[in-house]
A and B are shown apart, each in its own frame.
Chain A
Amino acid sequence: MKITNQIIKKHGLKSVEFENIKKLLKRDPNLLELGIFSAMWNEHCSYKSSRLHLKNLPTKGNQVIQGPGENAGVIDIGGDDAIVFKIESHNHPSYIEPYQGAATGVGGILRDVFTMGARPIALLNSIHFGSPTHHKTKSLLNGVVSGIGGYGNCIGIPTVAGETKFDDTYNENNLVNAMAVGLAKKNKIFYSKAKGVNKSVVYVGSKTGRDGIHGASMASAEFDENSEDKKPTVQVGDPFTEKLLMEACLELMKDNSIISIQDMGAAGLTSSSVEMASKGSLGIELELDKVPCREDNMTPYEMMLSESQERMLIILEDNKEKDAKKIFEKWDLDFVVIGKTTNTNNLTLKFNGKVEGEIPIEALASKAPIYNRKWVRKKILTSKIDLKKLKKVKIEDALLKILSSPNHSNKSWVTDQYDQTVMCDTAQKSGSDAAIIRIHNKDKAIAVSVDSSANYCKSHPITGGKQIVCENWRNLISVGAKPLAITNCLNFGNPENENVMGEFVECLEGIKEACEYLNYPVVSGNVSFYNGTNQKNINPTPVIGGVGLINKLLKPIGHDFKKENNAIIVIGKTFGHLEQSCFLKENYSITTGMPPEVNLLNEKNNGENVLKLIQDNLVLSSHDISDGGLIVALSEMAISSNYGVKIQKPKKLTNLIKYFFGEDQGRYILEIDTKNLKKTEQILKENNIYYENIGQTQKDYFEIDGELKINVKDLFKLNNEWYNRY
């Protein structure tokens, strides 16, 4: 078949990339080889627009066993235990078929974790939709939440935390980021690097069909009016088979049969075989007629590009095939030797004895294009909002507007569809700042949270990047966990647009600065570009998934008030920064202005001291202050506990709106028993931590002295309406 310009374009390759392929092969590629290049060289697999900048992220630390570059990141949590985790996007498929797109996103990230030898113990997700009034939002919300629940619940792993957000920017491009966390033994981590020549390459799992052929190319293409035609490429997930696959793999991993293992995700058999060989500086030869197929007459092209789910590629030690096969047969899964490792450094594809394609591995891996795309820095905005020019609003009305808005309403409608308690180790479910998962049969626990701040990142990417790492860090501190490391999912628009690229580079600069300062390295992650339609790009949305450690879990600490007449302390100074706030957005639809400044020194000091106070059992409940400001955070603590507050107005003359709704960073609210107040204040003073004693908890009423008094039950009712009505 002659390779025409049309065919090259359909494969998502630029003509200069095609010329490059010809140079590397020293000849024209055939269609099979072109298909393979198109899969390996697209944005999703090659990271060609992002690799250059991702290199700058801090990825090391004493707690890091494995940083980016493997299927997932690995951190040390003491003893012989390790945590394996990663977050990944499945945005484009979930716009097309929300249930299956979200479900297969969960399936894919789970495989990335258990392929390393870790039993998954928690799932999280960050999902973003367009405006609730947009015609597609309701069905997308229903589909995505059902899909996440449908897959996670069936496979029996608790979905414990997440965020669900709505914003116009995602109107034509919803986001689904799925994160998985697994538990492994430090000395039993499995990697994907192939080792040894003439070792068996084994295919296990579901049969191969025509699903998702060119799914990876689709992920790298913007949608246009013809997106509807891209429909047939969406895969159907089978969580039942994945459960069998997971159990079979974990069983096989009990001994030393596996040299290397990789799941078949984007670009299926192609990416897994190439990556394994590339890491081991080996070649790999596959006999495609041996690939178990679900459909008749599948061609080598289809087999190599199929994105059928629930499949793994394993390189086995010699003489281990028989025993390994028994395990997979017990679980009713296909187990077939489909090739071997070689020393040719080529990807050699045979079909019925004939060589159908041969490509040097490195042409597909290290020689994939790296682009240093043009980018521009965001201009610093100098205009400030003049409150006096805005129509006056009562604090109570402004608060209620926020609490009843889609982004702040109680999310039980979503989280009740997820099984949060299967595996019986969920010590704290979603609803507080972070979820807590006990390490099975041990005293220790991990805390997990996933966060994003797209509006901050849009207005000032460096600050946004810094802020979101800090907020995630604070969320773990708030539940008494020492933050250890993060995984990041970077959702951006078209990287060929220099403004979008600038947002990417600057967000990374901010993330890097905060991660370095807080000793909170990046151990894994994913980049999703081209989230845009017809030249309109989404707001930059880096999503941070963090894991922290609680050495001895005595009692999970959340943000629900425990009793009346306890002191309420605010850690960190309130300056009253309102630009980019929830208050301005919900009450005036104002979304301009600079985000609040991030002071890393204060973040670190405040956080470390809050953690110490919690570990010393001086804190009854705690909450970090983020969007909505102090008053919204206090409301959340009240609503979740049915206890109210009695807050004194600030002593210094200050604008109350700014004080209560300002989104200054580095702040926490702590509930302290009066008998521990003196000791707590002493510790804070000794460590130069700015704090304010703003009032106390009380029964029934949420009260700001002289300003408002609302029954907590009414706050609860208002906060619980939106989803049920929608």
Chain B
Amino acid sequence: MKSSVIVFPGSNCDRDIAVALEKMQFKNQMVWHKETKLPKSDLIVLPGGFSYGDYLRSGAIAGKSLIIDEVIKAASDGCLILGICNGFQILTETGLLKGTLLRNKKLKFINKDICIKVLNNETKFTNKYKKDEILKINIAHNEGNFFTDDDHLNQLKKENLIAFKYSDEKGNINDFSNPNGSMENIAGIYNSKKNILGMMPHPERMIDKLISNTDGLNLFKSLLN
């Protein structure tokens, strides 16, 4: 399976996602943001980091890069798009995903291992997970507080487009298990065609038992399925 990772000035989780993709036997290419053509890809990844320093608004400047037009085209052709952390922010800025990521409720950057529940395990990204499986996964962000309007929220619920919600280890979804104030504990969402996934937690940081755990592996295995 072919993947492309878009690298913006300030992306800093690009190497991490490349390592994960290569470990899972993807044929991966790094694509510099100034490129005007994308290599043929089955999966395009917008990695985490601080593209353009998060200046103006997180993901706002990257959303205006030349390569983004190609990403939008690929998305409409059905290519799988994965936006992680800053990548998720860029997807909302470009409109590929609706909603926005606001500053964390407690106004501080938070780096922690938290739990998320897999709400929809029937997509290209999650079919190897069990329904309602609890994953322990790392978050590292300043602006992870998902917010959207009521219409979009209703659509997300109706069409089963909420990918993950922050929960506790037992699967309880409540304020206590919400690290950043996200609306309804939402940690990741799909577009209506379910070929685009945006998520704040970092699956690429959970693929090595020595460093953390392997709860992220099944996301990549699902993609290869």
Contact = CB atoms under 8 A, between A and B. Distances in A.
Nearest to A417: B109
A303 B9 CA distance: 28
Which A-B residue pairs are the 8 nearest by beta carbons?
A156-B12, A240-B53, A154-B50, A419-B140, A424-B16, A419-B111, A417-B109, A149-B109
Interface in B1-35: 9-10, 12-13, 15-16, 19, 32, 34
Contacts of B34: 330
Contacts of A555: 210
Nearest to A413: B108
Given A240-B52, A424-B205, A424-B211, A419 B9 contact: no
A555 to B, nearest CB: 7
B222 to A, nearest CB: 20
Contacts of A239: 50, 53
Contacts of A421: 111, 138, 140, 202, 205, 211-212
Interface of B: 9-10, 12-13, 15-16, 19, 32, 34, 48-50, 52-55, 108-112, 138, 140, 142, 202, 204-205, 208, 210-212
B9 A427 contact: no
Nearest to B208: A424
A149 B142 CA distance: 10
26 contacts: A146-B109, A149-B109, A153-B140, A154-B50, A155-B50, A240-B10, A241-B53, A243-B10, A243-B12, A243-B50, A330-B32, A332-B9, A416-B109, A416-B110, A416-B111, A417-B109, A418-B111, A419-B111, A419-B140, A420-B111, A423-B15, A424-B19, A424-B204, A424-B205, A424-B208, A427-B210
A239 B54 CA distance: 10
A423 B212 CA distance: 13
B9 A425 contact: no
B8 to A, nearest CB: 11
Contacts of B210: 427, 438, 553, 555-556
Nearest to B55: A240
A417 B53 contact: no
A237 B16 CA distance: 26
Interface in A420-465: 420-427, 438
Interface in A546-569: 553, 555-556
B109 A244 contact: no
Nearest to A157: B12
A153 B55 CA distance: 14
B11 to A, nearest CB: 8
A427 B211 contact: yes
A423 B202 CA distance: 12
A331 B111 contact: no
Contact of A240 (B9, B108, B142): B9
Nearest to A426: B211
Contacts of A331: 9
A671 interface: no
A238 interface: yes
Contacts, number: 85
B140 A240 contact: no
B176 to A, nearest CB: 14
A424 B55 CA distance: 25
Nearest to A149: B109
Contacts of B48: 422
A154 B9 contact: no
A156 B50 contact: yes
A244 B9 CA distance: 7
A422 B50 contact: no
Given A240-B9, A240-B10, A419-B111, A153 B211 contact: no
B109 A419 contact: yes
Contacts of B140: 153, 419, 421-422
Contacts of B109: 146, 149-150, 153, 416-419
Nearest to A418: B111
Given A422-B48, A424-B204, 17 more contacts: A153-B50, A154-B53, A156-B13, A239-B53, A240-B55, A243-B12, A331-B9, A332-B9, A417-B109, A421-B111, A421-B140, A421-B205, A424-B19, A424-B205, A427-B210, A438-B211, A553-B210
Interface string A142-167: 00001001100111100000000000
A419 B210 CA distance: 18
Contacts of B142: 153
A720 to B, nearest CB: 14
A238 B211 CA distance: 30
A146 B107 CA distance: 10
B12 A425 contact: no
Contacts of B111: 153, 415-421
Contacts of A241: 53
Given A238-B53, A438-B210, A422 B16 contact: yes
A422 B142 CA distance: 14
A419 B54 CA distance: 15
A415 B113 CA distance: 13
Interface in A298-340: 330-332
B116 to A, nearest CB: 16
Contacts of A243: 9-10, 12, 50, 53
Contacts of B9: 240, 243-244, 331-332
Most-contacted residue by chain A among B50, B111, B211 (CB, 10 A): B111
Interface string A233-267: 00000111101100000000000000000000000
A427 B49 CA distance: 20
A154 B16 contact: no
A702 to B, nearest CB: 24
A51 B111 CA distance: 41
B55 to A, nearest CB: 7
Given A240-B50, A427-B211, A154 B10 contact: yes
A415 B212 CA distance: 17
A155 B12 contact: yes
Contacts of A419: 109, 111, 140
A418 B16 CA distance: 18
Contact of A416 (B16, B54, B112, B204): B112
Interface in A640-659: none
Interface in A150-199: 150, 153-156
A190 to B, nearest CB: 22
Nearest to B19: A424
Interface in A486-503: none
A146 B104 CA distance: 14
Contacts of B52: 240
A54 to B, nearest CB: 36
Interface centre among A238, A239, A421 (most CB of B within 10 A): A421
Interface in A99-149: 146, 149
Contacts of A238: 53
